[in-house]
Every structure is written in structure tokens, then in C-alpha cells.
Amino acid sequence: MSQLLTLPDAGALSIRAKALVFEDPGSVALLARVEQVAPTDATVLVIGETGTGKELLARRVHQGSGRRGPFLAVNCGAFSEALIDAELFGHESGAFTGASQARAGWFEAANGGTLFLDEIGDLPLALQVKLLRVLQERQVVRLGSRKPIALDVRLIAATNVDLRNAVAAGHFRADLYYRISVATLELRPLYERPGDILPLARHFLASYSQRLGVTGARLSPDAEQALLAHDWPGNIRELENVVHYALIVAPNSVLTAVDLQVIQRSVAGASRGRKPAPAVAQGEDTAVDLVPAPPSDALREVLLQRMNAEQPELFNQVEETLVRTAYELCGGNQVHTARRLGLSRNVLRTLLKRHGLLDAAHEVSEPAASLASATAG
């Protein structure tokens, strides 16, 4: 493995990609471009599907920039339109109802460092105008104030949509698009960089083996074939979940294609315009082409395998996997997660706390907690 990037807290609950490797020739070329862009002050636009590792790439740009300030990541789609102005640019006491004291925004908190604005295409048009002014004038004015504050912040923006189409449709300002796309880095979907799939799978295998106390875990040849044959619509995040689940349900430390339970390429690839996988020659292992059993039967079979393995923590592991998967699928939204699982929110919160998915930091608003943490660091 030539290079591996991981999030600082690799165990944190997140729908983001937690690891990124540069093994595939296309990824190696992208890394070379990152190394050229990083030492400059150029504003960077990272383009890629959800789960491809855009934040990890942005962190690598920051690491190579020489900036001593913090790296702060903000999802523009996580705030309501009424609050995003104050969140990004700060506010003075009394600027609006509930503003009992002055507060710095994300731009001020990132002073001297890098601010990563994910899903920048979700910014309202009015905020796009203000963002353009901040980038041009290198200063910010808090909501409710007339005093400009000088900034030294490098902006890295990211999107999973084509901003050129958004500009044509009138949803994104052309002048802002040209301002943020000085240097454009494109992260291709995982299926378009197949050389990264197995190194990533082995990384997640080692990581979750240590967490679950599994020794000697490895991928069988047919498991590797299945991984390479899948189209990964969920990209790196989906790959991580597949490996994690396989380690829980596999009856032994050698993971097979059946344990991985991934969809064959000819089915998944149809929706992404990919050619079907070549036919398997007679006599070769065809585990990847098995028709999956009905969900209830497959789940029962998995549970029987684990119970026969006499795993003492089986109930807790199954419960944690179910809650964690639903919580991640719903983007950390407790109301939606509870609805998916058919639970009350209070019961869900108890389960989240039991499995370490909800701590004191989540009892306050996520933006406030993240900002406090980033400022302290």
C-alpha cells in the first residue's frame, strides 16, 4: 500500500469515508496533483460521489499546505437556512432571537488554517453572495456587526453534484463557481479505481479484527473476486460496512464471498452504465453468482452460524450492529433512526448510549460541539 489516509478518530460514527488509499494508477496520479496544489494558497474544489473520501483528500491538502491553523470541516447541508449565516460568519449578542452572547463563526475559528465546506452546492443564493465577498475581501463581518474581521483562511469546497449544471439552472452563482474552482480535484467512484478496493478491504479487515478481537482474519480468493466484481454504489463507506459485517457473521477467520454477501457486478453495474462481468468459466468458483436467500432466511442462517460458534457477546454485537447501521444510514438523525427501527426515541437514545454512539458531546448541538472542540484544538 503506497499511501493510506484515515480520519483522526477512525472509530467515530460517521457516514463519511474513513480511509483512502492511493494504489490504483488513477489514484496515484490524483495524489501527485494534490502534492502540487497543497503548498499553494489556491482555493480547491473537490468533486466526488458521497463516500469517496472528499474530506480525507481535503485534509491531505491541508497537511501539505504548511498552515499552522486548524482544519475545520463543515457540511453546508447540515444547517437550516435561518442559522447558516450565523454559523459560518458568526454573530454579535442580540443579533437575533436567542443570540444571548457573541459567537465566532466557522471562518473565524479556522483563521490561520483551512475551512472545508462540504456540499457547497446546498448553500442558499443569498449566502453564496456573502461567501464570495468574504473570499474576495479576505475579511468577515459578523451578523449584527459592522466591523470587519481580517481572515487568513484557505477554503476547500466539495460537492457531489455538477456545479456547472447548477449554474446553468440558476441554483449556483457562476462568479462563485469560478472563484472556488481555481484548482479542481476529482475523486472517482470506487469502482473506477479498482486497484484501491483490496488494499482498503484489508485495511478495514485489520481495523475491525482488532476491535472485535478476531485473530488471523483474511480474505479468501473468491472473496477478493467478489469485492472486485461489485460496483460499490456506496463507495468506501459501503466497503467498510461489508467488511465489518462479514467479520461478525463469518463462521471462521477466512472470509468467503458468501460471508461478504455483495451483489454481483452484472446486477449492480446496470444502474451505473458498467459492462457486465465476464462469464465465469466452467469449473471455476461461482460463489459470487449465488442467488441470495430471502432476507429472513439469510438472517436466520447467519445467527445459527454465530450461535454454533459459541460467541459469548453475540447479542450485544448483533444489537450494536443493527443500531449502528440504522443510525449511520439515517445520517445520525435520531428521529429517523427510531422510525426505521420501530422504536421510541427514548429507547433509541438508551441503545445509542449503551453502545457508545451517543456521548455528552452529542447532547448539545453538533455544530456548537464541533466548533468548541476545533477552537480548543
- Which CATH number do you get for residue 268? 1.10.8.60
Residues 178, 225, single domain; the answer is no
**Can you give the CATH number for the domain in which 63 is found?**
3.40.50.300
Mean pLDDT score of the chain, rounded to an integer?
81
Residues 180, 204, single domain; the answer is no
Specify if 136 maps to a domain.
Answer: yes
Give the total number of structural domains in the chain.
Answer: 2
CB 102 within 8 A of CB 57: no
pLDDT tens for 92-133 read 887 677 777 888 889 999 999 999 999 999 888 989 999 999
Q: 214 exposed, middle or buried (CB, 10 Å; 0-12, 13-18, 19+)?
A: middle
Q: 13 exposed, middle or buried (CB, 10 Å; 0-12, 13-18, 19+)?
A: middle
Cα–Cα distance measured from residue 68 to residue 114, given in angstroms and rounded to the nearest whole number: 9
Consecutive H or E run containing 1 = none
pLDDT of 298: 63
Instruction: List the domain range (segments joined by +) for residue 274.
Output: 191-362
Specify if 69 maps to a domain.
Answer: yes
pLDDT of 296: 54
CB 285 within 8 A of CB 229: no
Residue 250 vs residue 196, higher pLDDT: 196
82 is written with which cell numbers?
Answer: 435561518
126 is written with which cell numbers?
Answer: 443569498
CB 224 within 8 A of CB 297: no
Residues 252, 357, single domain; the answer is yes
Q: What percent of the chain has pLDDT over 70?
A: 79
Residues 279, 333, single domain; the answer is yes
Residues 208, 290, single domain; the answer is yes
pLDDT tens for 239-249 read 999 999 899 88
pTM for the whole thing? Answer: 0.69
Tell me the three state secondary structure of residue 70.
coil
Residue 79's contacts (CB-CB under 8 Å, 6 or more residues apart) are: 87, 367
Domain boundary among 188, 206, 233: 188
35-39, 162-166, 179-183, 264-268: least confidently modelled range: 264-268
Confidence of residue 377 (pLDDT cuts 50, 70, 90): very low
Residue 282 has pLDDT above 50, yes or no: no
pLDDT tens for 312-341 read 677 888 888 888 888 888 878 887 788 888
Mean pLDDT (whole number) for 39-65: 94
Domain boundary among 188, 217, 240: 188
Mean pLDDT (whole number) for 156-182: 93
Specify if 377 maps to a domain.
Answer: no
Mean pLDDT (whole number) for 172-200: 95
Residues 313, 173, single domain; the answer is no
Residues 182, 213, single domain; the answer is no
